C-alpha cells in the first residue's frame, strides 16, 4: 500500500494495477525509488562533463584558427608543429612548418637527413637545439620503434626534446590518449578559471596538472579539449588585457561570479606602465602587489608597483612551456 507522499515509480510486471482515489494497490509489481530511476536515466544519457567543457569545445570548433597541423592526425606532423611552437609564435611557425614538411615529409626522411640540412631548414627560427633534438629523436623512432612515433607516454618521454606537455599534446591529438597538456597558455587559463594563486612552485604546478588531467579525463575528446585550452590561452585569455567578453568560460570565472582574487596569476605589467597591473585586474580582481583595481589605477602608479614586476610578458600566441612541462 502506498500513500499520498510516497514518491516511487511503479513498473508493473504482467499484472493489474488498481488506483483508488489518491492511493494505489500494486499486485505483482516492482516499485523503484525515484532516485534510482534518475540514476538509470543519467546512465543512459552517458557521462556528464564538467561545467563549461561543452561550451569551450563548441567555441573551439567555431572559432579555431585554420592551421596546417590541425588538418592531420599524423603524429609525426603534430610532433614537428609542437616542437616548433615552443617559444615561437604561430605566425612565425606556419611557413617554417610547411617548408620543413616539404623537405622532410616522413620521420624516415628526417632521420636520414644530414644535420646541416636540418639546421638549414630551421635557419631563422631560433633555438637550434630543437632542430638537433628532432633529428636525434627521428633516428630513435626509426631504429627502436619501426618508424612510428611511440604511442606510450614513457616511450615518448624518452625522446630528446619531448617533455610531458609535448607528449600529451601529440598523443592526445593523434591517438586520443587521455593525457593533459600544461603549456603557458593552458596554465594561465586554468589559473584564472580555478583561482590557482601564487608564484610558480612545484605545488602550484602539481595542482594545475591535476586540474588539466581532470578536464581531459571527462571530455568527450581529449585532443580537442587540449587544443581548445591552448587556443583559448593564445587568442582570448592573453597575459595582458584578455578578451573576457568573448571568452566561452567567462561566466565560469570566479571573478565574474563576484569573487575576487589577488593573483590570477600576476603578469609583469602594471598600471604605472599604462597597462593592467596583473591579469586579475583585467577580469575585475585586484593586484597582489599594490591592491589596485581597474577603478584605482592612479593608486598603483603612486605606489610604484611597476618596479615589483620584471620583464615583459610573452607575446600572445606563443607556446610558453611551464617548468618541467615540455
pLDDT digits (tens, 9 = 90+) for 76-103: 999 999 999 999 999 999 999 999 999 9
Is residue 263's pLDDT more than 90?
Answer: no
CATH 1.10.340.30 intervals, the chain: 53-235
Is residue 185's pLDDT more than 90?
Answer: yes
| Cβ density class 224-242: b for 16+ within 10 Å, e for less | bbbbbbbbbbbbbbbbbeb
Per DSSP, 33 falls in state E
Give me the residues paired with residue 274 across strands.
Answer: none
Alpha carbons within 13 A on the beta-carbon side of 193: 25
Interacting residues of 17 by C-beta distance below 8 A, sequence separation 6+: 10, 24, 25, 26, 27, 29
Q: What is the pLDDT of residue 43?
A: 47
Q: What is the pLDDT of residue 254?
A: 60
Alpha-helical (H) ranges within 86-163 are 90-103, 107-112, 115-122, 129-144, 153-157
**Confidence bin at 52 (pLDDT 50/70/90):** confident
Interacting residues of 299 by C-beta distance below 8 A, sequence separation 6+: 290, 291, 292
311 sits in which H/E element: none
- Across the chain, what does the average pLDDT equal? 76
Per DSSP, 158 falls in state T
What would the pLDDT profile of 117-147 be if each residue is shown by its tens digit?
999 999 999 999 999 999 999 999 999 999 9
Q: What is the pLDDT of residue 144?
A: 98
d(CA 83, CA 319): 9
Mean pLDDT of 154-175: 98
Alpha-helical (H) ranges within 181-269 are 184-194, 202-218, 222-235
∠ at Cα 280 (166, 86), nearest 5°?
A: 20
- Please indicate whether residue 307 or residue 72 has the higher confidence score (pLDDT): 72
Pull the grid cell for residue 38. 534518475
Mean pLDDT of 65-69: 98
- Please give the CATH superfamily to which domain 53-235 belongs: Hypothetical protein; domain 2 (1.10.340.30)
Task: State yes or no: is 82 an active-site residue.
Answer: yes
- Please indicate whether residue 317 or residue 218 has the higher confidence score (pLDDT): 218
| CB-CB neighbours of 58 under 10 Å | 12
Pull the grid cell for residue 127. 633555438
Give the residue among 80, 48, 56 at the shortest CA–CA distance from 224: 56
What would the pLDDT profile of 211-254 be if each residue is shown by its tens digit?
999 999 989 999 999 999 999 999 999 998 899 889 999 877 66
Report the share of the chain in percent with pLDDT over 70.
Answer: 61
Catalytic residue among 82, 231, 273, 288: 82
Q: What is the pLDDT of residue 27?
A: 43
Q: What is the pLDDT of residue 318?
A: 52
Is residue 156's pLDDT more than 60?
Answer: yes
Give the residue among 279, 199, 276, 194 at the shortest CA–CA distance from 236: 279
**Confidence bin at 269 (pLDDT 50/70/90):** very low
Q: What is the pLDDT of residue 117?
A: 98
Q: Has this prediction a pTM greater than 0.75?
A: no
- Residue written as cell 598603483? 300
- Please indicate whether residue 199 or residue 255 has the higher confidence score (pLDDT): 199
CB 93 within 8 A of CB 85: yes
Amino acid at each position: 500500500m502506498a500513500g499520498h507522499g510516497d514518491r516511487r515509480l511503479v513498473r508493473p510486471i504482467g499484472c493489474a494495477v488498481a488506483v483508488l482515489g489518491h492511493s494505489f494497490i500494486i499486485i505483482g509489481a516492482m516499485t523503484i525509488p525515484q532516485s534510482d530511476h534518475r540514476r538509470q536515466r543519467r546512465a543512459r544519457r552517458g557521462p556528464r562533463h564538467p561545467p563549461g567543457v561543452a561550451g569551450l569545445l563548441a567555441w573551439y570548433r567555431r572559432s579555431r584558427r585554420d592551421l596546417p597541423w590541425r588538418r592531420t592526425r599524423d603524429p609525426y606532423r603534430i610532433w614537428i608543429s609542437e616542437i616548433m611552437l615552443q617559444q615561437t609564435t604561430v605566425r612565425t611557425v606556419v611557413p617554417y612548418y610547411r617548408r620543413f614538411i616539404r623537405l622532410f615529409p616522413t620521420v624516415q626522411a628526417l632521420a636520414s637527413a644530414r644535420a646541416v640540412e636540418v639546421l638549414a631548414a630551421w635557419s631563422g627560427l631560433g633555438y637550434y637545439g630543437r632542430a638537433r633534438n628532432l633529428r636525434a629523436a627521428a633516428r630513435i623512432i626509426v631504429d627502436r620503434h619501426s618508424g612510428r612515433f611511440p604511442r606510450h607516454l614513457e616511450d615518448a618521454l624518452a625522446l630528446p626534446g619531448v617533455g610531458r606537455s609535448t607528449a600529451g599534446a601529440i598523443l592526445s591529438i593523434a591517438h586520443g590518449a587521455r593525457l593533459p597538456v600544461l603549456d603557458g597558455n593552458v596554465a594561465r587559463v586554468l589559473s584564472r578559471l580555478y583561482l590557482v594563486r601564487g608564484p610558480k612552485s612545484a605545488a602550484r604546478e602539481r595542482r594545475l596538472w591535476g586540474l588539466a588531467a581532470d578536464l581531459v579525463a571527462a571530455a568527450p575528446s581529449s585532443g580537442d579539449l587540449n587544443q581548445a585550452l591552448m587556443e583559448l590561452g593564445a587568442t582570448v585569455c592573453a597575459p595582458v588585457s584578455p578578451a573576457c567578453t568573448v571568452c566561452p568560460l567567462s561566466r565560469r570565472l570566479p571573478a565574474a561570479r563576484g569573487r575576487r582574487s589577488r593573483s590570477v596569476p600576476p603578469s609583469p605589467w602594471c598600471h604605472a606602465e599604462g597597462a593592467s597591473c596583473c591579469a586579475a585586474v583585467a577580469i575585475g580582481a585586484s593586484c597582489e602587489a599594490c591592491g589596485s583595481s581597474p577603478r584605482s589605477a592612479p593608486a598603483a602608479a603612486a605606489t610604484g608597483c611597476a618596479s615589483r614586476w620584471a620583464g615583459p610578458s610573452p607575446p600572445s600566441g606563443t607556446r610558453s612551456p611551464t617548468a618541467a612541462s615540455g
